[in-house]
Amino acid sequence: MPPLRRSRLLAKRRVALLFYESSTRTRTSFELAAKSLGADTVLVSALSSSIEKGESLKDTGITLRSLGAECIILRHPNSGAPYLLARSTGLPILNAGDGTHEHPTQALLDLRTILFRLSARNRLSDAIAPLNSGVLRGVRIAIVGDILHSRVARSNALLLPRLGAQVIFCGPKELLPDNAAGIGPGVSVERTLEHALANADVVMMLRIQRERLAGLQLDLEDYTARYQLNPERLARHAPDVLVMHPGPMIRGLEITSEVADGPNSAIMDQVQHGTAIRMALLSRALQSRLANTSKEKQKRS
Ligand code: NCD
């Protein structure tokens, strides 16, 4: 699409960002994505709005709708909150992370990063061609760390095997229950990082979500010794692996700076792919809304 047309695609459409949890990457990239298509955006965050005074999600949602919001981007600590908001407002809701449930736009931007990077290395035949169920056949993706609390891990484990990838969850018992592989086909559990790395094409490191540990005691020194991705481990077990991390990173804990900033890292690519993915989703959400509204008008007349 020509850049000028793209920059006016959502001209004057109103998009609300409703954030009950903190965010840097997801919020900024959704906002920039909306603005680059010409939409007007407004940010409502829990700490500076009536949410702090006890207003419900439903009331906040219908208030935003009355103010002209045509689409809401929601981040919420409760799993399932986007469904509730969609039901109570009738608006398209884009899930920017709900509790420990899902973070679908992160999984899509991770997929885009993997496709671009692996096709550049000629590991995939024609990755940028239309997606099909075999595009990631033979690709092994290790997801390491706090799987239990990670909506990123869940969304990736639901998405990537559909395209043929094998997902290997790796972490200690406390952060990765034995039954985690039951999330779906193409997912297995491996407790030892060195084994997970051995045949992996991609390794996705995760932050320990301290805010969700709820009393769970974890020996961080032991965790770091067993699960940190550092230059020695990388060189010895997976010198060519593509290193990813959804951020925020805790440098020195799950990953060292040498690895995060090193030649294997695709972490900043992930951030950049996020804007394109969110532009696509926003235009889809708002354009289908326009189409539905005009169909309803036609029916009524
Ligand atoms: C993640 C999240 O919020 O789920 N970050 C992100 O959106 N890129 C992961 C995390 O908080 O550790």
Q: In a mutational test of the pocket of ligand 1, which residue from 152, 154, 277 has the highest number of ligand atoms less than 8 Å from its CB?
A: 152
pLDDT of the residue at 215: 80
Those residues of the chain that have pLDDT short of 50 are none
Question: Which ligand 1 atom sits nearest the alpha carbon of residue 96?
Answer: 7
Q: Are 246 and 107 in contact (CB under 8 A)?
A: no
pLDDT of the residue at 130: 65
What separation in Å is there between the alpha carbon of 292 and the centre of ligand 1? 33
What separation in Å is there between the alpha carbon of 97 and the centre of ligand 1? 8
pLDDT of the residue at 21: 96
pLDDT of the residue at 53: 87
Residues 83 and 171 in one domain: no
Which residue segment(s) compose the domain that 41 sits in? 3-99+273-300
Residues 205 and 171 in one domain: yes
Residues 187 and 285 in one domain: no
pLDDT of the residue at 119: 81
Q: Does ligand 1 come within 6 angstroms of the Cβ of 161?
A: no
What separation in Å is there between the alpha carbon of 283 and the centre of ligand 1? 23
Residues 215 and 119 in one domain: yes
Choose among 71, 121, 100, 286: nearest CA to 211: 100
Question: Which ligand 1 atom sits nearest the alpha carbon of residue 246?
Answer: 8
Residues 249 and 284 in one domain: no
Q: In a mutational test of the pocket of ligand 1, which residue from 78, 106, 113, 206 has the highest number of ligand atoms less than 8 Å from its CB?
A: 106
What separation in Å is there between the alpha carbon of 254 and the centre of ligand 1? 14
Q: Does ligand 1 come within 6 angstroms of the Cβ of 103?
A: yes
Q: Does ligand 1 come within 6 angstroms of the Cβ of 77?
A: no
Residues 109 and 253 in one domain: yes
Q: How far apart are the first and last CA of the chain?
A: 34
**What does the pLDDT look like over 181-204, one tens digit per residue?**
898 899 999 999 999 999 899 999
Residues 74 and 207 in one domain: no
Choose among 205, 215, 160: nearest CA to 185: 160
**What does the pLDDT look like over 207-230, one tens digit per residue?**
999 888 888 889 999 999 999 999
* Alpha helices per DSSP H over the chain: 3-7, 25-36, 57-66, 81-89, 104-120, 151-159, 193-198, 220-227, 231-237, 257-260, 267-300
Residues 10 and 36 in one domain: yes
Residues 74 and 146 in one domain: no
Q: Does ligand 1 come within 6 angstroms of the Cβ of 155?
A: no
Q: Are 162 and 132 in contact (CB under 8 A)?
A: no
What separation in Å is there between the alpha carbon of 89 and the centre of ligand 1? 26
- What's the number of domains the chain is made of? 2
Residues 81 and 155 in one domain: no
Cα–Cα distance between 263 and 250 in angstroms, integer? 19
Q: Does ligand 1 come within 6 angstroms of the Cβ of 145?
A: no
Supply the CATH number for residue 40's domain.
Answer: 3.40.50.1370
pLDDT of the residue at 50: 86
Q: Are 38 and 10 in contact (CB under 8 A)?
A: yes
Residues 12 and 87 in one domain: yes
Residues 170 and 290 in one domain: no
